Every structure is written in C-alpha cells, then in structure tokens.
Amino acid sequence: MGGDAEVSREVAREAGRLLLDLRDGFGPIDDKDAANALRKQADRASHELIMERLTAARPGDAILSEEGKDDESRLSAERVWIVDPLDGTYEYGQGRVDFAVHIALWEPATRSLSAATVDLPAQGLTRSVLDDVSPPAPLPTDRPIRIVASRSRPPATLARTVEILGEALARDGVTDQGVEIVDVGSVGAKVNEILAGRADAYVHDTGFYEWDVAAPYGVALHYGLVPSHLDGSAVVFNRMPPYVTDLMVSHPALVAPLRSALQAAAGS
C-alpha cells in the first residue's frame, strides 16, 4: 500500500465499500430493531476489516478503535492509529449518506497526525492528506454563513452565537446575509460540508471521543481549515481516557469573529 497516508486511504476505502455492500444486501430496514441490527453488524465488520489490514500493514503500531478494547500500552507507543469504523452509525441505519470511516495516525513524539482519511462511501468521496489542495475560497457573500452542529447535541448557546456573529459580520462589512445553522451526521461529514463549500464552520462543545475527531481534524488541517479547541488550543490525541472536550473547525477568515461570538454568547 505504500506509505502511512496510502495505508490510511486504502483501508478506509475498503471499509467504506464493505459498509455499502452490507447495507445494500441487508434487506428491508423497516423498523428500529432491523436498523439497530444493521448498525451493530456494520460496526463490527468494519472494525474487524480495519484491524486486520492495519495489523498486517503496520504490525508494530498501536490501534485505538471505537469498537475495540482499549489498552493503556498505547500511551507509550511511538505510533497510534485512531479509528472509527463507522462514524454516523445512526445515519447509516437510516439509509442516509452522511456517515464515514475515519482512519488517522498519531505520532506522539511530534504531536502530529501524519496520516488521515475520511471516507464518505455513500457520497463516493474520500478526503485525505494525500489530496491536492488550494487555499480556501473567500467567505461567501451570496448566501448566509453556515455553522454545522450536532442535531442531537448542539451547543446550548449556539442560537445566541449565531445572532452575535451575524451582527458582527454585517457591522464589519463581511456579509449581510446572516448566519444559519445546519445539522449533519458524522464529524467527517460535517467537516466535508466545509470543504465542499456548503458550510463555513463546525462547533461542538459537549464532548466526544478521539476516534470521532482525529481523522477529520487531520484532513481539515491539510485543506487549510483551522481546527482547534474552542479556546484556540490544539487538540492532543492519545489520551486516557480518549476524550475530546470540544471542537471548532473553521474557515480561516471566520476563526476570530466566531470565537469572539462564542465567548460573548457564553457570557450573556
């Protein structure tokens, strides 16, 4: 498969194809029990495939997977793969397209994600640190600025943040189109909305896990977006427990006004 980034991309794509094949061949998904059975089967099958492929390609590396048993030995490992075999499990079971496979490689010595892939199999799209990229386009002026958030767990202050941000952008002459909220499933799918030019930032403040974040974070960095904690500090991976308290991924031109609006909303 070549280098680490190639391994990440090829294994993620293979797992993505597996997920599509499983869903296509599962039969009618006409009730909650059937959807849950599909989700469980898909999570496990994708995990097993990824574990097998990564172990064969990089036998000395540690692997942290949502579906695997965590092991503290990874804390002293020189290389740690961080894997979500099926991010957006709920959306997958609904037959939607906003689910993903996440595979990233964290190197503790340099505190860097040296490989990262978000595969969006139902969209026929793979985002990787191998992609040729250009600087982000300017912020749009022909539509509202769009903030992606979790459908089930959006920030409690998000509505107020949007109000403050819209006022600030109009006052500063950036845009008078306002700001709106959109919801998307997988974290990888959320970041892809920004990369595709359909949204401009993603905000989450109720916590999630490293496997949700690592691959989208690495891909966002590669594409010139600005991922960080809400306070602007970098996310550090391979922690125990593997928990990420909050996240913001933003178009570079939106970082300062969005962070200011979040702070103002939190204090109001």
Domain of 196: which CATH number? 3.40.190.80
Rounded Cα gap, residues 268 and 253, in angstroms: 24
**Considering 128, 155, 171, which residue would you say is the last residue of a domain?**
128
Q: Tell me whether residue 230 is in a domain.
A: yes
Q: Are residues 150 and 258 both part of a single domain? A: yes
Is residue 134 assigned to a domain?
A: no
Give the count of domains, the chain.
Answer: 2
Q: What was the pLDDT predicted at 161?
A: 97
Q: Give yes or no: residues 112 and 179 share one domain.
A: no
Based on the fold, state whether residues 103 and 209 are members of the same structural domain. Answer: no
Give the per-residue pLDDT at 2: 79
Q: What is the pLDDT of residue 1?
A: 62
Inter-residue contact 102 to 122 (CB < 8 Å): no
**How much is the pLDDT for 156?**
93
Is residue 139 a part of any domain in this protein? no
Take residue 210 and report the two structure tokens written for it.
């490293």
Query: Domain range holding 240?
Result: 145-267
| 123 and 93 belong to one structural domain | yes
Q: DSSP assignment, residue 111? A: T
Query: Is the domain of 119 the same as that of 186?
Result: no
Q: Which token pair is 30? A: 């006409």
Tell me the per-residue pLDDT of 172-195, one tens digit each, with 9 for 90 and over: 999 999 999 999 999 999 999 999
- End residue of a domain, out of 128, 160, 186: 128
Q: Please give the Cα distance from 149 to 135 (Å, whole number).
A: 24
Say if residue 169 is in the same domain as residue 232.
yes
Shared domain for 194 and 154, answered yes or no, is: yes
Is there a single domain that holds both residue 103 and residue 14? yes
Cβ neighbours for 208, distance < 8 A, ≥ 6 positions apart: 187, 243, 244, 247
Q: Say what the pTM is.
A: 0.96
Stretches in the chain below the pLDDT threshold 50: none
Q: Kindly state whether residue 63 falls inside one of the protein's structural domains.
A: yes
Q: Is residue 28 part of a domain?
A: yes
